[in-house]
Chain A
Amino acid sequence: MTTLLHRRFSPSALDEIIATAPESSAILSEAHRHSLSARFRAVATTEHRAIDAWMVEHGGKPHDLFAWSPAMTRRTLANAALRRVRAHDVGVLDAVNEEVDELLVRAAAGYTRSGSLASWLAQLSSPERAAVLAEATSWTSQLVEVTAPITHAWSVAVADAHYDVAQARTSLRARRDLVVEGPHGRVVVRVRAGAPGKSAGPGLRADLTVDALRDLEGRPSTRYVGLWPEAGVLLSVDGTMDDLRAGARDLVRTAVAWRRHRVSVAA
């Protein structure tokens, strides 16, 4: 049985959902990892595939070609700016400005690859850069708003969770924005724009499973929380074996659907 929980957002809702995370969570063993790897290997592919919650939610549809835009930069910049706001007690706009300035310095020093955020920012005109700043400032302010009432220790996630499935040419990725030290273990929060669709639950379970796989001991978060501030909705799943299994099943199904998409495109 799934533990998917739906709550309306209120200033205290996120803290309550963290405080009520379950005491224990399941653990993924080596046998589980081998079994998952075998299932992915059974879905043969000639190229490397990367699967994430977005693909799970969209039935294996591959991502569009990536291009930077103000909307695409906001999460990277806002998470980094939120870290600065917490560490140095600076205002939101100052934090975003400092983050962008640091990236520009890096680009000017030649420490960036072409196609990176820093090199893209460096080639923008100042009004275009201001559009990036506005987008990131709004998102950072939103993050400051939702994190202010959290009473537990938390930090901005350093990176998303990545897991390479052994011998299956498959990478799994789970989105993580905040890592909270809950009363009984870690709780991960991911913040997304827009509104959750009908398959938001499977997406969240896929993230939970990937987060557990990337843990050396196979220990999942006690609770994985999805927050959609624009819709005022919170969804969460707990780190139970049922949810981990459902998440793994959805990831494998997505690999199958992804292969169908590729075959139909090639045909």
Chain B
Amino acid sequence: MTSLLDTPPLGLLDSLRGDRTKRPRRDLTSAAGLRATLDDEFFALWGDVVFDAPLVVRASTLRREQSTALSSHPLAQVRGVLVNQALRLVSVGVDLERPFDDALSAWRCEVGNNDLLAFVDGLDAEERARLASAVDAHAQTLARALGPLRGRWLPRTGVRASQRLAGGNVVVRDTVDLMVGSTTTDEASVALLDVTTAPLDENAERSMRFHALVQTLRTTTVPLRTSAFSTATGELWSLNVDVALLRRALDELVEAVRTLWSPS
């Protein structure tokens, strides 16, 4: 099910977690089948050949090139990173007064120095002010929509995952911006949230499915929901995770690997 909200809900996470009494039972069995299917698909592609270097697949690998080109501009990247930092700060209850400055300080503290930070430092006053106002607007949209995060939901930000498939020939890497809920309850309760500064499109939907698949493989537990929130438009897309969705994500992953393996 895909739901589209025209206006950001008061508590975005409240709506993601939904009614507890209506959640499906936790699915612990699908992960093994998905992994076996992936291994079979890859074996059909290259047999028992062992690659010198693995094929690395990320959510961005599944996207179409047009939008990748747009979002790979350093300014867009910096904006994305800073809005993500703002999410991390909001998740621990920080009231963002100056989102751009706060997010930049947090980012600098985390990574020390890198090329993107050097790019920000090299911006002239006008460009920097434009970036700051964009980040402030995106971060405020996010903070307003997110609402309070309860500690009992086990909020995790920037959750990384790495899965070796096909004997290490394929490595799947992923980072989920925000994850809440537990894999240990009897009913499915994990909700994944991807925050993007771009409007939601087909690529966002592919990423949502990819996150669900990778988290299923990592934890052996099928998440409850996978979602994407656009800070540009305030839209929230949310999908209930089921076997059909995971199967579709698997097909997209196999397709991406096939493209990587034989680019022609």
B169 at the interface (CB under 8 A from A): no
A70 contacts B109, CB within 8 Å?
Answer: yes
Scan residues 73-118 of chain B and give those whose CB is less than 8 A from a CB of chain A. Answer: 85, 88-89, 91-94, 101-103, 105-110, 112
B240 at the interface (CB under 8 A from A): no
How many residues of chain B are within 8 Å of chain A by beta carbon? 42
B163 contacts A145, CB within 8 Å?
Answer: no
Which of B31, B92, B152 is A134 in contact with, Cβ under 8 Å? B92
A-binding segment of B7-15, B154-162, B201-209: B154-162
B105 contacts A232, CB within 8 Å?
Answer: no
A-binding segment of B56-64, B191-199, B215-223: B215-223
Q: Which residues of A contact B219 (CB under 8 A)?
A: 9-11, 232
A93 at the interface (CB under 8 A from B): yes
Q: Which residues of B contact A69 (CB under 8 A)?
A: 109-110, 112
Which of B93, B105, B162 is A128 in contact with, Cβ under 8 Å? B105
Known A-B contacts A134-B157, A141-B155; the reply to A231 vs B163 at CB < 8 A is: yes
Nearest CB in chain A to that of B150: its residue: A91
B91 contacts A137, CB within 8 Å?
Answer: yes
B164 at the interface (CB under 8 A from A): yes
Q: Which residues of B contact A94 (CB under 8 A)?
A: 151
**A10 to B31, alpha carbons, bound, how many Å?**
10
Nearest CB in chain A to that of B149: its residue: A93
Known A-B contacts A138-B158, A144-B154, A148-B182; the reply to A133 vs B105 at CB < 8 A is: no
B28 contacts A141, CB within 8 Å?
Answer: no
B91 contacts A134, CB within 8 Å?
Answer: yes
Known A-B contacts A91-B150, A231-B162, A232-B163; the reply to A11 vs B157 at CB < 8 A is: no
Interface size class of chain A, counting residues whose CB lies under 8 Å from the partner chain = 35 or more
**A69 to B108, alpha carbons, bound, how many Å?**
10
B110 contacts A145, CB within 8 Å?
Answer: no
Chain A proximity of B87: nearest CB distance (Å): 9
Which of B105, B151, B158 is A91 in contact with, Cβ under 8 Å? B151
B183 contacts A11, CB within 8 Å?
Answer: yes
A127 contacts B91, CB within 8 Å?
Answer: no
A104 at the interface (CB under 8 A from B): no
A230 contacts B160, CB within 8 Å?
Answer: yes
Instruction: Give the tally of cross-chain contacts (CB within 8 A).
Output: 122
A195 at the interface (CB under 8 A from B): yes
B184 at the interface (CB under 8 A from A): yes
Known A-B contacts A8-B220, A134-B89; the reply to A145 vs B154 at CB < 8 A is: yes
Q: Which residues of B contact A92 (CB under 8 A)?
A: 151, 154-155
**A96 to B151, alpha carbons, bound, how many Å?**
11
B106 contacts A145, CB within 8 Å?
Answer: no
Known A-B contacts A11-B221, A137-B91, A231-B218; the reply to A195 vs B103 at CB < 8 A is: no
Q: Mark B164-185, 1 if CB is under 8 A from A, else 0.
A: 1000000000000000001110
B28 contacts A11, CB within 8 Å?
Answer: yes
Q: Which residues of B contact A93 (CB under 8 A)?
A: 92-93, 149, 151, 155
A149 at the interface (CB under 8 A from B): yes
A232 contacts B161, CB within 8 Å?
Answer: yes
Which of A90, A137, A148, A193 is B92 in contact with, Cβ under 8 Å? A137
Scan residues 42-57 of chain B and give those whose CB is less than 8 A from a CB of chain A. Answer: none
**A59 to B55, alpha carbons, bound, how many Å?**
25
A142 at the interface (CB under 8 A from B): yes
B109 contacts A138, CB within 8 Å?
Answer: no
**A69 to B109, alpha carbons, bound, how many Å?**
7
The listed residue with most B CB atoms (<10 A of its CB), out of A9, A92, A131, is: A131
A-B contact pairs, 14 of them (CB 8 A): A9-B220, A11-B28, A11-B219, A11-B221, A92-B151, A92-B155, A93-B149, A127-B101, A130-B94, A130-B106, A131-B109, A141-B154, A231-B161, A231-B163
- Other A-B contacts than A91-B152, A130-B88, A232-B220, 15 sampled, CB-CB below 8 A, are A10-B31, A10-B219, A11-B221, A67-B112, A70-B110, A93-B92, A94-B151, A131-B106, A131-B107, A131-B109, A137-B92, A149-B184, A194-B160, A195-B162, A230-B161
